Structure 1
């Protein structure tokens, strides 16, 4: 395997681990009561997430060393998501509503994690109350909202920060532009979104995948 391929694989794997590093927010202690202005922004961000029925967007995933990999994100309520990475990575991540599955075609391996144990649950589960466990971070820009979500009683779980930009045509008037995952070892992974398309036709077939494992070892 050449160096370029190793870079892609390392970047994808790191992001998968970072995205899955925070346990279920519903099991965490609530954050301290927010100021009225912050509480309003939190409510707006939650409403924007819940207003998305389906979404397709391009993404760039970057690890803490600056290595990047591109792909296409597909999301459908409730609970379904697909990160289709560029061909050079030869990997993908699919959420079927119950679990997130990392499929590595180069080594013919499949790994699964419960969605309930992932911060992506904040994107996938419209009943997840992000406002109870998040806080607004100052951005200096009234058109940008930054929400940090963490369990203050368990710093080892890491942090996820969601960044929204005001956009009238986006569901709820806010568009999720990127998020940052930081694990307990300070491994930072950023997912930046562009060309977001809302309400596009998405079927369950978009979340199917081919199992690369030998039949006699499944």
Structure 2
């Protein structure tokens, strides 16, 4: 099997897993409020605040990732993140796929067929990761995990299920920004396509030039960037 045959459906599911953050960014004043008891609601709100603080405390980060689709197919690569809103998923020099955000738009570049697909960050489930103050705070729900060291936050617009959802998992870790480390997330689109991304070997505060989030447009050249 060619690498691209495995990567492309994974990339599509990951980069375009519904339009979750579009609904999140628009907001909805009719959202039903939580009916949790006051003490529980207060605790949940505090944990949400801690998770948001941890995400916002990351200025730059690199991590290795494994990406798994609903059929169990797995690919690996390196994720690079830089505030505000920049992210890159590099699947290696032999891959024909690149997923990158320049802070405004999220791109999936397919070098095998010389195509580029673009989504505004607001139309990507990554909005919850790249703009945690807006998305996680407004539409995040704490999910019980059975462990005080693990936080699970489900982010979705309950009034717009067609926009999909993303579930962020944090583990308490001294030394990580905000004392929490994002270990993995699961994105689910409106077609029930599930993509799981697991992170390891986190490196914080590394030097990341803005050129990391640029790419050569294959529609203008048939050559893959080196």
Task: Tell whether 2:220 aligns with 1:214.
Answer: yes
Match of 1:32 in 2: 33
Match of 2:224 in 1: none
Match of 2:21 in 1: 23
Number of aligned positions between the proteins:
213
Offset, 1:94: 1.0
Length-normalised TM-score, structure 1: 0.91
Offset, 1:31: 5.8
Deviations, residues 61-117 of structure 1 (Å, cap 9, x unaligned): 110000011110001111111111134431111111110111111111111111122
* Cα distance change on mapping 1:143 and 1:69 into 2, 3 Å: same
Q: Is the 8 A contact 2:16 2:124 kept in 1?
A: no
Question: Does the residue aligned with 1:66 lie in a helix, a strand or coil?
Answer: coil
Offset, 1:129: 4.7
Length-normalised TM-score, structure 2: 0.88
Structure 1 unmatched runs, 5+: none
Offset, 1:139: 0.4
Q: Is the 8 A contact 2:86 2:101 kept in 1?
A: yes
Residue correspondence of structure 1 range 1-150 to structure 2 within 5 A: 2=1, 4-18=3-17, 20-24=18-22, 25-29=24-28, 30=31, 32-33=33-34, 35-125=41-131, 127-150=133-156
Indicate the RMSD between aligned Cα atoms, in angstroms: 1.7
Offset, 1:125: 2.4
Residue correspondence of structure 1 range 163-202 to structure 2 within 5 A: 163-202=169-208
The match for 1:152 among 139, 150, 158 is 158
* Cα distance change on mapping 1:153 and 1:126 into 2, 3 Å: closer
More displaced stretch, 127-136 vs 65-74: 127-136
Deviations, residues 182-206 of structure 1 (Å, cap 9, x unaligned): 1122111001100010000011111
* Cα distance change on mapping 1:146 and 1:96 into 2, 3 Å: same
* Moved >6 Å (runs of 4+): none
Offset, 1:14: 2.3
